[in-house]
Chain A
């Protein structure tokens, strides 16, 4: 190796800054992040073209069915998953459980999902995400919730949807709410912004920033109920930057087939002929649940604020 060409090179690299934290999410855009519970699942996800995997204790459909307290995955399993794949590994921590997050950071996980799918550890406060070098993704149901999480330091947002149902209706509702909120904010007069910040329950500085840029300062994925290639493409056409898919893959009859098809449908979301082609012969999708008839206390999206 020849000698370094410059004196400035090699000094003071800055790790853990806002740009690198938000930046990894930028690199995942247009891709699919898949829930996995073990190394074998993680390998299937990587084989299928996932841009990242999400380690969790049980897929949401099982959490919903089995009940009990859902926590961060067991550390040994997380390590096995990290060793099994070359793509980024994310993992879920409970809302407000900053020590689970510290443990995940110590393990070298690439992104932490402070997730309503797990049982909340704090019903009042979310994690102060600015204090971590590792970036966080958080769920939201509307623009106000998205901006509260960004205000706490989230470097990526995903709409909550209703995890483990295989029903895309809540994902659609939440994506429309976030993007509709952005369009509304853009159209306001500057003297209406404080009132809008109050209405949204959102930090004023972020409200003003979005009024000017017209876009969230972080990447916004869809999540919670995506079960088919057409669901994935629907969320992309609505304006998602990418998709999280949980139970939809490993609760289907053909996980590898579904995973590959959902990856393709996320890239070619506006090409119905491609979506048709990749959907052919997949067999049954996961069995879905009717969200409207579910008791309110069973809704995961209502966790966190």
Chain B
């Protein structure tokens, strides 16, 4: 490690940005790197590149904070020597960021109006260094390319492309490492080459070689990649300056866990930061995102992504945007998984190892893959199975040991997590709650309430279920086709359930549950469209939950478009959704003008 203490004579300095000791450490490094161009010195340079960039950044700040070049030179007399040496270390000048910082430092030392001999000399030196950097050529090559009429720029580009192509061909070769460990493997150099590619991660020409390095054969035991190289790729990727193709990015995530984690966190952050973004936008975002495809190719990546989702969900179980992200992601993932060739496919059990296995297939099945007549029975079965799990949890809470309590909590959470991933069944439940007879609604309502209240915190499940029943009954009355004029009592009761005072109580029912039911009633009930729109408008207007209702309606429309709704009155439903959307949008207009 380089010394961080300041030298005694620097202690009085008001500017501790760069110390003389740091400068000496990096100067010594630059001297060593400049002595010989070997694989070893190059490795050391590449491994230090990231820290060197930080130091050069500090140096630049230091230069910019000084009043003049004379003052900078006085404070850091070694600065010129250091920058001059860096200019001749190819691993430094090949790296776009390092090169840019180095040039900025040189510009920083250039005095537009030199006030002293030192500054005039510095200006002259900077011009000379820059000129040499661009125009100086190897004496063994220069006369030849001059005579042949080749511009050095074209010559170097040609040689670079050739070298890159040769290395790429080497790493594309198949090997027989596993079978014969004594045989020389063409990928033996992959560690050294990947280290040398650290400064080239943003170089357009090097992108095909980097892609090939990342996609080394899994069967090869020799093909190791440098961690620094993977970190450099990840950092370039997060700056959006990486020029890799899709498969290269997927391989980067596969080889480098932090880069995968960062990609998932970026996705989550973008969704959470933009809480208002519509489900369509999220769907578009994930359709274009590479993550579902990557997860379909590599089971281990899916497990990591799910772990991150799991921990987010534990912290914010009610965050609708996270739910939406998880279920859209899972849907995109399953679609990509179906495209993976059969011989490469992984059993579902391995992809969802923590989920209750009995629920796995029933939940992952899409409603469209089943007869409509079977939906109700299927949902009842799901509801009963989940209920059994929660009952076991309650029993363990009462009588069980700490470990059995934890186990049953875990089982219930995993079942609920799977339900969030397969939210299409919850959406269908809401629809069936509207169209079913009251006496058949028990299991459906239990399932629907469980989705919104997975934990039995404070043992309020029974009262929450009671409130849900109450909400269902009042909504049924509000949307009854036989019941004009509007039952004011039911409207009042629904508003009370949605009221802030009610919501502050511990056993309160999720507003989203009520709004979801409300929207489903508006769409699927036999009430006239005008009557439905009127009720929807009244509740939304009085509760101020316009955005929430609009989101539910959009989600509903999306799932209808995906073909879940196969009933004979598809057109009627479609029309109602559009009209109701119009109603909600229309409500939005005056608000915006207020």
Tell me if chain B binds chain A: no
